[in-house]
Amino acid sequence: MYWMMMWGGMLNWGFMLVMLPALIFSLIAQGMVKSTYRKQSQIPNSRGITGYQTAQRMLNRYNIHDVRIEMSNDGKLSDHYDPRTKTIRLSPSVYNNASVASVCIAAHEAGHAAQHANIYVPLKLRNVMFPLVRIGSGAAPFLVIIGLWTDYTSQFGDWIITLGLGLFALVSLFYLVTLPIEFNASRRALQFIQGDDLLHGTEYAGAKKVLTAAALTYVAALVTSLLNLLRFMALARGRGRR
Options 70, 109, 182, 203, the catalytic residue: 109
Which among 11, 22, 39 has a CA at the least distance from the CA of 203? 39
Residues 6+ apart with CB under 8 A from 234: none
Please classify residue 138 by burial: count the beta carbons closer than 10 Å to its beta carbon, then call 0-12 exposed, 13-18 middle and 19+ buried: exposed
Neighbours of 141 (CB within 10 A): 16
Verify whether residue 70 is a known catalytic residue. Answer: no
Residue 137's SS3 state is helix
DSSP for 40-84, please give it. Answer: HHTSB-TT---HHHHHHHHHHHTT--S-EEEE--S-TT--EEETT
Sign of the alpha-carbon torsion through 106, 111, 114, 116: negative
Give Cα separations from 84 to 63, 88, 116, 128 (angstroms). 19, 11, 10, 11
**Cα(123)–Cα(111) distance, rounded to whole angstroms?**
11
Please give the single-letter amino acid code of residue 77.
L
Give Cα separations from 199 to 35, 71, 107, 148, 150 (angstroms). 20, 23, 12, 55, 60
Active site residues: 109
